[in-house]
Amino acid sequence: MAGSQLKRLKSSLREQGIIGPQKSKKQRRQNAQDQKATNDKRVQRHEALASIREQFNPFQFKTNARGPKFEVTTSKPLTAREAMGINGRPGLTKAVGEERRRETLLVEMQRRNKVGGLIDRRFGEDDPHMSLEDKMIERYTREQQRAHKKGSMFDLEEDDDEQMGGLTHGGRPLFDDDDDVLPKDDFDGEDIPSGDESDNSHAERRVLKRQRLEEALEAAAEQEEGQPDRKKTKKEIYEEIIAKSKLHKLERQEAKEEDNELREEIDEAMGELRSLLFSRQKPGAKDAKDANGTLTVAGKDQATLDREYDVQVRKMAADKRAQPADRTKTDEEMIADAANRLKELEEQRLARMRGMAVEEEEEEEEGGKKKKKRASNDEDLDMMDAEEEEDQFGLGSGIKSNTKYRPTATELGFDDEDDFLIDDDLVASGSELEFDSDDMDEEESDDEDGSGSGSASDSEDDEFTKGLLTEAESKAGVFRLPTTTKGNDANGVPYEFPCPQTHEEILETFKPIAVPSLPVAVQRIRALYHPKLDSRNKERLGNFSQALVRHVAYLGDRFEPEWFPTLEGLTRHVHSLAKTFPIEVAKGYRAVIQEMDQERPLALTVGDLVTLTAVGTTFPTSDHFHQVVTPGMLVVARYLSQKIPRDLSDYATGVYLSILALQFQQFSKRYVPEVMNFCLNTLCALSHEKPRKDLGFFPIHEPAAGIRIKSASKTVVRKLNCGDCQQPEQARSIEDANSLKIAIISTTVSVLKSAADTWHKHPAFYETFSPALLVLQSYLSKSNSVHIPSSLNVKVTETSSALTRLLQISQLSRRPLELHHHRPVAIRTYVPKFEDSFDPNKHYDPDRERAEMAKLKAEHKRERKGALRELRKDNAFMARENLRIKKEKDAAYEKKYKRLVAEIQGTEGQAANEYAREKEARKRKAGRR
């Protein structure tokens, strides 16, 4: 734009139509008539002038030197400010800041170092014309104003209604101000119009309000018609909003009024309605309403009625619901059930053997439901895999992962004694009659003569518990301690026992009883302290079973050959107790195993052998992991692997343990390397000749002197017994030693045979047993075979030929390994994270804390800068003010000084004049003279 500032101003004024060619008179008149337009025009003019003013002040705006930073296209129309890229109005802000400082800082400055005073908030004190009443009115209005200011700054609705703080209930005013029905003073009543302006009635006000509103709306409508394009000013917009809200309020009030009217009508009709309603109810109880008005039903009063009702309800709640009785099953069904149950148990065993979770199935079974929801094999493996990843196979501590999947006796449903009995009914079908009628004597005989009445005492499940409960019931109608029987029976076994809690107590209690009658004693203790008889019995029997485990081991250590049926009986008792007290019994066994491990890992006694055997029968040895069997198996393996036998008894113990280890694995067919090592080493050690070196990869220990067999061809082959496992007090005679050696060899060969039978399906069977074959063949060599009896020779020959056959089969059936037909593992993928509404100015820090920290820091920085700036400005302001005050002071002083000087000069001049005049006069006088 060219031209001077003035020219530009002129042209822009002309553009806006503010100045222009002079209007004719006619035009002017027309304009004046157009009243409505004038007002608007003035506003318009004002705006235009303001914009021009802004335009011509180059310091009014802060703009970007190079225009807006980014070219942006939006749907919204750009304001002038945005179009110019205006960032701020420094002039305006400065002015505002200055003003604010003047209000606050300046005041403070002036008051500084001055003594503070009272602010007199009283009114009318110095106005003698105000009467007391006026003062009161004034105070009231001020109070009202204060209350009003607090709450309703933006309250559009309440602005012209009366400000009634009033009483409220539950946040609502007690008296709805629009409610005409509410009692009011007659003075305030609408129908008596009062001349008082302050008592303006609601109706009147409403009417006024409505009028105002209508006017405003009309005006707005007209404006819209007139200038549809022009933007409304803020004031107009707010006015509109206010008007609208008032309209809404009005509508609400009208609706309410209508409701009230309706209610009034109903209220009036209430008397009739009530009579109608009660006349319906009354006929049932004619005289129910007595003089006092309390209700009675059927001659009873309310309280009694309520009480009776409560009693009835309680009775109903206490009533047992009728349950359908179990249908009596036919024999076939019972057999089928039993078979099913066995099958299920077998399946569970197989699952445990594979080390899988059986828990869910157990639970389902407990509930008696048949739906099978088997955890899929793959899933299971995955889980185990994951756990392994974490704890590295749990060699140190990771075996927990396995225990997680152990089913429990509780889950199997053996925990509860009742369940136990039901099981019993299912399984031990034949035993029921006998045990219902007979008592323990029957069992005694059974235990005493061992296998004699084996079939009679069908010990399928628990003849023990079975017998004892019925016995207890028969003795005392209700369950209570059978105190009637006292003294001893024929075998010298007393009928009453304390319940031994520790092994010491057991020793004490069982001292007078002969070992063979112990099962009877145990039986009686179990009957006397049956858990049904006393709540504490459960704990007692638990402790007793724990102690009993130890006692069996104790007896085993001091064994006599004829005690084994007794040990068997006791072991079976422990087993049956284990069904009720699995944890206690397991703890008992584990304690004994731990003792073995810590005190005599390489010198196991007969008692330990008995304990380990009992472990094998009591607990399922085929499980992948078992809290008792696994440690027991480790103890066995440790002996077999680490014991370097010195005496023949060591060999015998080892052979027993080998048999045991093999028996443990009969079902699951797991491989036990230690058994192979021990058997082969034993055979090599006992053979007459020192075997060749290259038999295989099992370690050979050179035997002690006198272990190798020599000229025992005449010895009779016998079986080993537990006595052979103990070191004799004096050295064995040559015959005894030879007989023992032959027995060891013979048994070892049998063990090898059955080991081969057990493991012949394993893929490395050939590698495992070809050394065994070599060892056996070395026995058949001429130099060896002359030293062993011919019957044993035959046995060895048979075994070796059987082995050869098995080896051939395994060789033929073996296939190359193809272990890795896995599906290829997919590369892991992740879904990318998208931000729906991405804003480049925002920070998307995934770390919440860091993001918050950054935010705080930024805010702090900003605030700090702001505060500094403010302080600087304050200082400048203060300096300025001080300067101003000083200047004022100086000016005042100067003025005063000048005035004084002038005054003095004036006086001086006057005096000088007087003097001159006097001098003149004297001169003249003198002249006269």
Residues 350-379 that bind other proteins (CB under 8 A): 352, 355
Q: Map residues 756-795 to x or -, x wherever contact with other proteins holds by CB under 8 A.
A: ------xxxxxxx---------------------------
DSSP structure string for 320-386: PPP-PPPPPPPHHHHHHHHHHHHHHHHHHHHHHHTT---HHHHHHHHTT-----PPPHHHHHHHHHH
Looking at residue 651, its amino acid is Y
Minimum distance of other proteins from residue 608's CB (angstroms): 14
Whole-number minimum distance, CB 327 to other proteins, in Å? 26
In sequence order, which residues have a C-beta less than 8 Å from that of residue 722 and are 6 or more positions away? 559, 561, 606, 609, 656
Task: Please check whether residue 68 is in contact with residue 85, taking contact to mean a CB–CB distance below 8 angstroms.
Answer: yes
Residues within window 35-54 making contact with other proteins, judged by CB under 8 A: none
Considering only residues 474 to 503 of the shown chain, the ones binding other proteins according to CB under 8 A are: none
Minimum CB distance to other proteins smaller for 13 or for 350: 350
User: At closest approach, how far in Å is the CB of 766 from other proteins?
Assistant: 7
How far is it, in rounded angstroms, from Cα 881 to Cα 878?
Answer: 5
Residues 6+ apart with CB under 8 A from 220: 236, 239, 240, 243
Contact 351, 405 (CB under 8 A): no
Q: Between residues 567 and 756, which has the closer beta carbon with respect to other proteins?
A: 567
Q: Of 298 and 826, which CB lies nearer to other proteins in the complex structure?
A: 826
Nearest to 636 by CA among 668, 663, 666: 663
> What 8-state DSSP symbol labels residue 86?
E
Written as one letter, the residue type at 672 is V
Q: What is the full DSSP assignment across 151-214?
A: H-SS-STTSSS------EETTEESS-TT-SSS---GGG-TTS--S-STT--HHHHHHHHHHHHH
Give the one residue of 60, 617, 713, 793 binding other proteins; rule: CB under 8 A.
617
Q: Which residues contact 788 (CB under 8 A, 6 or more apart)?
A: 688, 709, 712, 713, 742, 745, 779, 796
Provide the angle, in degrees to the nearest 10, between the axes of the packed helices 790-813 and 765-780. Answer: 150
DSSP 8-state assignment for residue 763 = T
DSSP string computed for 10-45: HHHHHHHTSS-SPPPHHHHHHHHH-HHHHHHHHHHH
* Residues between 568 and 587 that touch other proteins (CB under 8 A): 568, 571-572, 575-576, 578-579, 582-583, 585-587
One residue of 209, 670, 708, 873 binding other proteins per CB under 8 A = 670
The answer to whether 792 and 837 are in contact (CB under 8 A) is: no
Binding of other proteins by 523 (CB under 8 A) = no
Q: Are 453 and 446 in contact (CB under 8 A)?
A: yes
Among 718, 861, 886, 887, binds other proteins (CB under 8 A): 718
Cα–Cα distances (Å) from 409 to 91, 365, 417, in that order, read: 89, 12, 12
- Least distance (Å) between residue 514 CB and other proteins: 17
Residues 397-426, interacting with other proteins (CB under 8 A): 397-400, 402-403, 406-410, 412, 414-415
Binding to other proteins (CB under 8 A) within 416-475 occurs at 450-451, 454-455, 459-462
Candidate residues 8, 260, 625, 881; the one interacting with other proteins per rule CB under 8 A: 625
Comparing CB distances to other proteins, the nearer of 182 and 342 is 342
Site of tokens 């005392």: 476
b (16+ CB within 10 A) / e for 464-476: bbbbbbbbbeebe
In the complex, least distance from residue 631 CB atom to other proteins, rounded to whole angstroms: 5
Give the SS3 label for residue 472. helix
- Provide the angle, in degrees to the nearest 10, between the axes of the packed helices 606-618 and 629-642: 140
The Cα 445–Cα 565 span in angstroms is 12
In the complex, the smallest distance separating the C-beta of residue 298 from other proteins, rounded to whole angstroms, is 60
Nearer Cβ to other proteins (216/412): 412
Give the closest residue to 770 by CA, choosing from 735, 737, 810.
810
Which residue's entry shows tokens 């206690």? 584
Least Å distance, CB 68 to other proteins, is 56
Q: Find the shortest distance in angstroms from Cβ 777 to other proteins.
A: 17
Give strand pairing partners of 168.
173
Does residue 544 bind other proteins (CB under 8 A)? Answer: no
Q: Considering only residues 529, 651, 656, 779, which one is a binding residue for other proteins as defined by CB under 8 A?
A: 656
Q: Which stretch binds other proteins (CB under 8 A): 52-60, 296-304, 520-528, 562-570?
A: 562-570
Write out the binding residues for other proteins, residues 850-879 only, by CB under 8 A.
none
- Least distance (Å) between residue 423 CB and other proteins: 9
User: 521, 555, 593, 604: which one contacts other proteins (CB under 8 A)?
Assistant: 593
Strand partners, 88: 62
- Give the HSE-up count for residue 882: Cα atoms under 13 Å, Cβ half-sphere: 8
Asked if residue 611 binds other proteins (CB under 8 A), the reply is no
299 binds other proteins (CB under 8 A): no
Least spacing, CB of residue 479 vs other proteins, in Å: 25
Query: Least separation, in Å, of the C-beta of 714 and other proteins?
Result: 21
Of the residues 392, 711, 790, 801, which one makes contact with other proteins according to CB under 8 A: 392
Q: Which is nearer to other proteins, 334 or 384 (CB)?
A: 384
Closest approach, Cβ 333 to other proteins, in A, equals 21
| Nearest distance from C-beta of residue 414 to other proteins, angstroms | 7
Question: Using the rule CB under 8 A, is 231 a contact of other proteins?
Answer: no
CB of 830 to other proteins, least distance (A): 18
Q: Angle formed by the axes of helices 564-580 and 463-475, to 10°? A: 80
Q: Which of 444, 450, 355 is nearest to 405 (CA)?
A: 355
Nearer to other proteins, 253 or 668 (CB): 668
Determine the interface stretch with other proteins among 189-197, 286-294, 653-661, 847-855 (rule: CB under 8 A): 653-661
Among 356, 672, 740, 803, binds other proteins (CB under 8 A): 672
Q: Min. distance of Cβ 841 from other proteins in angstroms?
A: 43
Exposed e or buried b per residue across 885-897, where buried means at least 16 C-beta atoms within 10 angstroms of its C-beta: eeeeeeeeeeeee
- Helix, strand, or coil here: 644? coil
Contact 672, 665 (CB under 8 A): yes
Residue 101 or 626 having the CB closest to other proteins: 626
Within residues 314-353, the interface with other proteins by CB under 8 A covers 345, 352
Stretches 184-192, 535-543, 717-725, 870-878: which one binds other proteins (CB under 8 A)? Answer: 717-725
Q: Which stretch binds other proteins (CB under 8 A): 47-55, 121-129, 718-726, 785-793?
A: 718-726
Span interacting with other proteins, options 265-273, 657-665, 866-874, 909-917, rule CB under 8 A: 657-665
Rounded CA Rg of the chain = 58
Q: Closest approach of Cβ 465 to other proteins, in Å? A: 11
Nearer to other proteins, 12 or 804 (CB): 804
The reply on whether position 108 binds other proteins by CB under 8 A is no
| Beta-bridge partners for 296 | 301
CB of 587 to other proteins, least distance (A): 6
Site string for other proteins, 723-762 (x = CB under 8 A): ------------------------x--xx--x-------x
Distances (CA, A) of 616 to 268, 571, 603, 710: 95, 11, 20, 36
Instruction: Write a three-state SS string for 211-269.
Output: HHHHHHHHHHHHHHHHCCCCCCCHHHHHHHHHHHHHHHHHHHHHHHHHHHHHHHHHHHH
Chain positions 682 to 701 lying near other proteins, rule: CB under 8 A, are 694, 696-700
Beta carbon of residue 685, minimum distance to other proteins (angstroms, whole number): 15
- Confirm if 85 and 67 have CB atoms less than 8 A apart: yes
